[in-house]
């Protein structure tokens, strides 16, 4: 094994001795810093082995090998990034223990358990790319093409792209997972697992991030269990069966977009809340609910399918509140809603969808029929007759609504025309039929874009509030 530069070690040792005489700041002594230049023949593993816990290793060039960390350590590259290349032999970087931070690194060439990184400690990635790693096999020890994480994992301003594994093409996580301001893209999985992110346990957070172009898997993101939140994020153009699956846990999707995915948008068998989000242009049902779900202030549009409904398919407990379900299509049953088990709809627009069965379809073999709680704008086939309900023809002109577009706010919406019967549909102080849910308080509520309600004399039905 080649030695890292002797002069760098002497400089660091001298600095460490000098620092030892200084008083500790905040009760913690300053850790040593080492420089390793793999392009000049320095030995990164030797530096890792001899570094003191908490030290920072500054890396230059490309370090080829399969590296192991068993202590708290920081690894930092230059602005152009330093590379760790596993050379297709084994996992590029294994973390056996400790708290490890990678900053401005490029992890590639891994071919083993957790192709790029196998983490058993606490790991944070910042401005780091994990790309071009592969794993073969279907055992859990062979999960995670880019990252296999048994301990807490935080990914910030980073990219996990172009990795491949049978289970969890990009990331396989079994502990706390936070992804922020990052891209999980173009990873490849298998037909029975996630191509992008497979997450167990949690809590799981995907914040201000994009999951894009993942393929070959059953889903782009699979929340198997545990609590999860997806905030200000996009799940787009994934060539998988489902863009997002929420399993046995509780997941909240807020201010997010699930769009242009090959098949289903969102599948839920646990507890799901979709709030102020857009689910559009997917190649199967926008939302398939088999658990307990609430959809609030959201837009579901332009989803197309040849089985069940284009917009929402429901076989669980579902409430649709202040939501726009318009422009979906199905060659099967229910352009807007296929309702097997009796959903609740209130203050929403459920019209302008196309299928042989119209906007709403309740099968004779189902366990319940759709319940209107009032103040809906719906196709006549939905049969809504509660307080404030109005039937309309199935075209955008009759609904008084424009095509899906960006009208302010973080997600696309469908703007109302001033002539729309949805405008001022819900009187101030109105409550829904049955449970008595407040629908239009005089202040304190917002539409999907964050615009305050009401803007006129009353609140508008659906996800969009017209500003006079």
CB of 153 within 8 A of CB of 177? yes
CB of 34 within 8 A of CB of 54? no
- Token pair recorded at residue 431: 């409550």
Work out the number of other CB atoms within 10 angstroms of the CB of residue 321. Answer: 20
Contacts of 131 (CB under 8 A, 6+ apart): 106, 107, 108, 116, 146, 159, 160, 161, 162, 163
- Token pair recorded at residue 28: 């913690």
pLDDT value of position 436? 82
Task: Tell me which DSSP letter residue 18 carries.
Answer: H
pTM of the model: 0.91
Please identify which residue in the block is written with the tokens 């579901």: 300
Q: Which residues does residue 207 pair with via DSSP β-bridges, in sequence order? A: 180, 231
Backbone angles phi, psi at 397, to 5 degrees: -65, -40
Work out the number of other CB atoms within 10 angstroms of the CB of residue 94. Answer: 21
> Tens digit of pLDDT per residue, the chain (468 long)?
333 333 333 333 333 333 332 333 233 334 588 999 999 999 999 999 999 999 999 999 999 999 999 999 999 999 999 999 999 999 999 999 999 999 999 999 999 889 999 999 999 999 999 999 999 876 666 689 999 999 999 999 999 999 999 889 999 999 999 999 999 999 999 877 899 999 998 899 999 999 999 999 899 999 999 899 999 999 999 999 999 999 998 999 999 999 999 999 999 999 999 999 999 999 999 999 999 999 999 999 999 999 899 999 999 999 999 999 999 999 988 899 999 999 999 999 999 999 998 899 999 888 889 999 999 999 999 999 999 999 999 889 999 999 999 999 999 999 999 999 999 999 999 999 887 889 999 999 999 999 999 999 999 999 999 999
The set of long-range contacts for 237-240, using a CB threshold of 8 Å and a minimum separation of 24, is 237/212, 237/213, 237/261, 238/195, 238/196, 238/211, 238/212, 238/213, 238/214, 238/262, 239/213, 239/214, 239/215, 240/189, 240/195, 240/214, 240/215, 240/216
| 456 vs 468: CA distance, rounded Å | 7
List C-alpha distances in Å: 245 to 266, 267, 271, 287, 291: 6, 5, 11, 10, 11
pLDDT value of position 3? 35
For residue 385, the SS3 value is: coil
Residues in the chain, overall count: 468
Phi-psi region of 41 (alpha: psi -120 to 50; beta: other; left: phi over 0): left
CA atoms within a 13 Å half-sphere pointing along the CA-CB vector of 257: 23
Q: Which residues does residue 119 pair with via DSSP β-bridges, in sequence order? A: 95, 149
Q: Which strand (E) or helix (H) includes residue 20? A: helix 6-20
CB of 4 within 8 A of CB of 42? yes
| 225 vs 368: CA distance, rounded Å | 28
For the chain, first and last CA: distance in Å?
73
pLDDT value of position 6? 32
Transcribe 272-325 into DSSP letters. EEEES-EEES-SS-SEEESSEEEEES-EEES-EESSS-SSEEESSEEEEES-EE
Q: Which of 286, 226, 285 is nearest to 258 (CA)?
A: 286
For residue 16, the SS3 value is: helix
Strands 445-446 and 452-453: antiparallel
Exposed, middle or buried: residue 159 (CB in 10 Å: 0-12, 13-18, 19+)? buried
| 54 vs 36: CA distance, rounded Å | 16
């Amino acid at each position: 094994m080649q030695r890292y530069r002797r002069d760098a070690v002497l400089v660091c040792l001298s600095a460490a001795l000098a620092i030892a005489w200084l008083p500790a700041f905040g009760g913690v002594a300053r850790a040593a810093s080492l420089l390793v230049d793999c392009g000049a023949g320095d030995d990164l593993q030797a530096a890792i082995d001899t570094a003191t816990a908490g030290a920072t290793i500054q890396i230059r060039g490309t370090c080829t090998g399969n590296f192991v960390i068993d202590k708290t350590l920081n690894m930092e590259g230059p602005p152009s990034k330093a590379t760790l290349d596993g050379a297709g032999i084994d996992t590029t970087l294994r973390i056996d223990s400790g708290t490890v931070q990678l900053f401005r690194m490029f992890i590639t060439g891994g071919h083993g358990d957790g192709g790029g990184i196998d983490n058993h400690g606490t790991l944070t990635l910042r401005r780091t790319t994990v790309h071009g790693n592969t794993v073969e096999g279907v055992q859990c020890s062979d999960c995670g093409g880019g990252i296999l994480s048994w301990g807490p994992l935080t990914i910030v301003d980073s990219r996990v792209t172009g990795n491949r594994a049978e289970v969890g093409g990009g990331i396989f996580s079994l502990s706390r997972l936070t992804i922020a301001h990052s891209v999980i893209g173009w990873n490849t999985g298998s037909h029975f697992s996630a191509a992008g992110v497979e997450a167990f346990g949690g809590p799981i957070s995907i914040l201000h991030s994009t999951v894009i172009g993942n393929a070959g898997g059953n889903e782009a993101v699979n929340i198997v269990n545990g609590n999860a939140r997806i905030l200000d994020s996009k799940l787009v153009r994934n060539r998988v069966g489902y863009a997002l699956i929420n399993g046995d846990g509780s997941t909240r999707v807020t201010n997010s977009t699930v769009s242009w995915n090959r098949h289903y948008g969102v599948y839920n068998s646990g507890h799901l809340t979709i709030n102020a989000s857009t689910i559009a242009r997917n190649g199967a049902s926008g939302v398939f609910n088999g658990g307990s779900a609430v959809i609030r202030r959201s837009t579901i549009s332009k989803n197309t399918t040849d089985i069940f409904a284009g917009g929402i398919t429901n076989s669980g407990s579902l409430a649709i509140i202040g939501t726009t379900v318009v422009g979906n299509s199905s060659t099967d049953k229910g352009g807007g809603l296929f309702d097997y088990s009796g959903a609740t709809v209130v203050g929403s627009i459920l019209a302008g969808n196309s299928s042989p069965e119209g906007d709403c379809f309740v099968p004779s073999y189902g366990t319940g029929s759709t319940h209107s709680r009032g103040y809906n704008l719906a196709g006549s086939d939905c049969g809504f007759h509660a307080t404030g309900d109005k039937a309309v023809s199935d075209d955008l002109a009759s609904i008084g609504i424009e095509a899906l577009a960006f009208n302010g706010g973080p997600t696309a919406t469908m703007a109302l025309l001033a002539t729309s019967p949805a405008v001022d549909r819900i009187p101030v102080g109105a409550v829904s039929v049955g449970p008595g849910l407040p629908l239009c308080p005089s202040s304190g509520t917002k539409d999907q874009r964050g615009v305050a309600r009401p803007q006129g004399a009353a609140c508008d039905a659906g996800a969009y509030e017209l500003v006079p």
